[in-house]
Amino acid sequence: MRFQARLKRDWRFWKGLSRTLKRVKTITRESDNLICDDIQAALELYRNRPAMTFEGRTVTYGELDGIANRYAHWAKSQNLRRGQVVALFMPNRLEYFAIWYGLSKVGVVTALINNQLVGAPLAHCLNISGANHVLVDGDTSPAFGAALGQLDRPMQQWILGPAHGGQRDLIQALKSCSQLPPDRSVRDGMTANDTALLIYTSGTTGLPKAARITHMRAQLYMRGFAGSTGALKTDRIYVCLPLYHATGGLCALGAALLNGGSVVLKRKFSASQFWPDIIAENCTMFVYIGELCRYLVNYPEVLEETRHKLRLAFGNGLRPDVWPTLKRRFRIPDILEFYGSTEGNVSLFNWDGREGAIGRVPKWLKARFSIRLVQYDQEAGIVERAANGLCIECGAGQVGQCIGKIGSDVRTDFSGYLDKAASESKILQNVFERGDAWFATGDLMKSDADGYFYFVDRIGETFRWKGENVSTSEVAEQLLVFPGVDEATVYGVQVEGADGRAGMAALVMNGPFDVKAFGEHVAREMPPYAQPLFIRLLPALDTTGTFKIRKVDLVSDGYDPNRIKGVMYFKDPKRGYVKLTKSVFERLQAGAFRI
């Protein structure tokens, strides 16, 4: 029986791997077939089928292509040349995918800006993009206007909606643009190694970095998930994740649109609307991040949650304790958990559904996969090396940093960031032999004897909260701007029942702490996911001999007022920052707050 179970497991893995490799095997960096050519081929094949539904409006593949073509011709009318950048700063909407797809038809790069950003982080992302044009809508225009004074060059603002001030009316401009595809000759000389998109990632330190997404990498995402999910043209995929992230914007859209299926796009996730939407739109799949699944299982039971036609949920970050509840309570036949990063070259898939695992590399295929775990000294913050100077591979059950060998083929390519120094900081040299180079994911994992990989934690100055990577140094910089803050350090703490780590800030004040004004400052300067959930006031911060703040002790302390002396605050979802008393702590531990 044990042999039969192993055989079934390996067969499911092999089927998933084969489907995926079949779709990506022809991708090469030298090819003149770009991501827009992949999408165009699908659009021609499925022209009259429904492609995307958003807020009651459905467009066919042909109509979606027509929208994209207008943006391509708009770019030409603005004398935008291939390689130049346009910043896209909008929430999810019907036009979002069509915009970057259309711009790619004329070789223009689209910088996908997180629509939750405000202030200095927003200005930073716009500045490093190199864009001279930014596309906004009514939701994001105010944030762009507020950041104008921090831009290092003039940017022309185009708005999908009524224009005022220094804005230009994008809707009016598009009316004179053709719906026919631009001549393919405009892309002559381009290869799949050219840049298609800029997608931002927090990285491990500092402000967001712009990852260079080549046409080849975009193809890998979109084609890869068209294969790995086994999606069909009859599938309708529910997407409520932001399209500025690769998971929602490339992986999920690729699974649907390269197979003739439909995307049911939502502006944002809503636990109360999730199941009614799934049923009303006859969805057969949905894409997730772990936080989304936690919200679903914590939401009160509703009749609709088992009356759906779902056959697969796919995504990343699903917590081991949430996994069985999600699958059984909602009667979801299959869950496909995967692991990957926007800029990295490490991809893992859990095709056979082992609960808690982020992917698998069977022993009989290990030599073909350039993924390894190496021993890592968390105190020193470096990989451990043997006497010969080379890294030490982890054994089964050992926790280590996940790394991926850098090569020339599509699956091992590392395109890096616009910032060359940031790219080089992610590369490990002389790992298993002299002269080799490996991408350091910044993630700690462990594997078992069957080849399953399990996520353990993030390394360094970043923690994950509400599906986003939060840079501790970036948040601390914003807190130091608040009057009266002498010192600030930010770290992640685990909260009972929550995915990832919640932000906690330790502050040293030089006067009274105005908690109301502080809350207003945080709300104004930071996106919701980056706002600290806990505040701790201290007379001083302990430092090391090299003047680095000792966060390890702060993290260990946590936020339990029964153990910690001094004043702490908790960000109540309804009332803002309140004193973290023992009664508030007990309610928090009991799950009384929807954080």
DSSP characters for 128-197? HHT-SEEEEETTTHHHHHHHGGG-SS--EEEEES---TT-EEHHHHHHTS-SSPPPGGGGTT--TTSEEE
pLDDT band at 205 (very low <50, low <70, confident <90, very high): very low
Q: How far apart are CA 461 and CA 442, in angstroms?
A: 10
Residue intervals of the chain classified under CATH 3.30.300.30 are: 462-589
CATH architecture assignment, domain 462-589:
2-Layer Sandwich (3.30)
Residue intervals of the chain classified under CATH 3.40.50.980 are: 31-217
Per cent of the chain over pLDDT 70 is 98
**Average pLDDT of 555-563?**
90
**pLDDT 10s digits, 348-381:** 999 998 999 999 999 888 888 999 999 998 767 8
Please give the mean pLDDT across all residues of the chain: 92
Most confident of 6-15, 171-180, 294-303, 372-381: 171-180
User: Does residue 555 contact residue 493 with C-beta atoms inside 8 Å?
Assistant: yes
Residue intervals of the chain classified under CATH 2.30.38.10 are: 363-458
Domain 31-217 annotated CATH 3.40.50.980: yes
Per-residue pLDDT at 445: 92
pTM equals 0.86
pLDDT band at 202 (very low <50, low <70, confident <90, very high): low
**Average pLDDT of 538-548?**
69
Per-residue pLDDT at 426: 92
| CATH number for the domain whose boundaries are 363-458 | 2.30.38.10
Angstrom distances, CA of residue 513 to CA of 465, 485, 532, 561, 575: 26, 9, 16, 19, 17
Per-residue pLDDT at 156: 97
Give the tokens for residue 387: 């006497």
549 DSSP 8-state letter: B
pLDDT band at 206 (very low <50, low <70, confident <90, very high): low
Angstrom distances, CA of residue 310 to CA of 15, 243, 306, 327: 21, 22, 9, 11
| Chain CA centroid to CA 548, Å | 29
- Counting Cα atoms < 13 Å in the Cβ hemisphere of 498 gives 22
Q: How far apart are CA 478 and CA 120, in angstroms?
A: 9
User: What's the sign of the alpha-carbon dihedral 419, 139, 286, 458?
Assistant: positive
- Counting Cα atoms < 13 Å in the Cβ hemisphere of 349 gives 24
Least confident of 188-202, 384-398, 471-485: 471-485
400 DSSP 8-state letter: E
Q: How far apart are CA 314 and CA 285, in angstroms?
A: 8
Closest Cα to residue 192, out of 413, 27, 346, 423? 27
Give the tokens for residue 142: 């105010």
Contacts of 171 (CB under 8 A, 6+ apart): 160, 161
